Amino acid sequence: MESINLIESFSEFKEFKNIDRPTMMSILEDVFRSALAKKYGSDENFDIIINIDKGDLEIWQNREIVDDEFAEDSFDFDENKHISLTDAQKIDPDFEIGEDITQPVRLEDFGRRAVLAVRQNLASRIMDLEKDGIFKKYQERVGDIITGEVYQIWKREILILDDEGNELILPKVEQIPSDFYKKGDTVRAVVSKVEMKNNSPVIVLSRVSPVFLERLFEMEVPEVFDGLITIKKIVREPGERAKVAVESYDDRIDPVGACVGMKGSRIHGIVRELKNENIDVINFTTNTSLFITRALSPAKITSVKIDEESKRAEVFLKPDQVSLAIGKGGHNIKLAGKLTGYEIDVYRDSDVDTDDVDLEEFADEIDAWVLDALKAVGCDTAKSVLELTTDDLVKRTDLEEETIKEVKEILQAEFE
For residue 280, name the pLDDT band (cuts at 50, 70, 90).
Answer: very high
DSSP for 143-207? TSEEEEEEEEE-SSEEEEE-TT--EEEEEGGGS-TT----TT-EEEEEEEEEEEETTEEEEEEES
In this predicted structure, what is the pLDDT of residue 54? 63
pLDDT score at 93: 79
Of the two residues 143 and 105, the one the predictor is more confident about is 143
* pLDDT mean across residues, the chain: 84
Say if residue 354's pLDDT is above 60: no
- Asked which of 43-52, 218-227, 345-354 is least confident by mean pLDDT, the reply is 345-354
The residue among 345 and 71 whose pLDDT is bigger is 345
Inform me whether the pLDDT recorded for 117 exceeds 80: no
d(CA 93, CA 310): 100
pLDDT value at residue 4: 45
pLDDT of amino acid 270 = 94
Q: Which of 263-267, 325-329, 355-359 has the lowest mean pLDDT?
A: 355-359
Residue 53's pLDDT is what?
A: 62
Q: Residue 289 above 50 pLDDT?
A: yes
Task: Report the alpha-carbon distance of residue 270 to residue 93 in Å, rounded.
Answer: 83
Residues in the chain: 416
- Residue with the bigger pLDDT between 166 and 350: it is 166
What is the rounded average pLDDT of the residues 41-45? 80
- Residues above pLDDT 90, as percent of the chain: 38
Per-residue burial over 260-286, b if 16 or more Cβ lie within 10 Å, else e, is beeeeebbeebeebbbebbbbbbebee
pLDDT at 20: 64
* The pLDDT value given to residue 132: 85
pLDDT, tens digit (0-9, with 9 covering 90-100), for 153-164: 999 999 999 998
CA dist 292 and 283 (Å) reads: 11
Residue 415 confidence (pLDDT) above 80: no
What percent of the chain lies above the pLDDT cut of 70? 90
- pLDDT at residue 35 in the model: 81
Residues 403 and 367: their CA atoms lie apart, in Å, by 10
pLDDT (average), residues 305-321? 87
pLDDT value at 151 more than 70: yes
Q: What pLDDT score does 55 carry? A: 62
The pLDDT assigned to 416 comes to 65
Average pLDDT score over residue span 391-411: 87
Q: Is the pLDDT of residue 28 over 50?
A: yes
Q: What is the pLDDT of residue 12?
A: 47
Per-residue confidence at 1, pLDDT binned at 50, 70, 90?
Answer: very low
> pLDDT confidence of 34, banded at 50, 70, 90?
confident
**Mind listing the domains of the chain with CATH numbers?**
4-136 (3.30.1480), 141-208 (2.40.50.140)
Burial class (CB in 10 A: 0-12, 13-18, 19+), 355: exposed
Please give the Cα distance from 78 to 297 (Å, whole number).
Answer: 88
3-state secondary structure of 368: helix
| Better-predicted residue by pLDDT, 245 or 64 | 245
Q: Are 245 and 284 in contact (CB under 8 A)?
A: yes
Q: What is the pLDDT at residue 339?
A: 95
Top pLDDT among 10 and 373 is at: 373
Residue 98 has pLDDT above 90, yes or no: no
Q: Mean pLDDT throughout 111-123?
A: 75
pLDDT at 15: 52
Confidence of residue 355 (pLDDT cuts 50, 70, 90): low
Q: What is the largest CA-CA distance in the chain?
A: 127
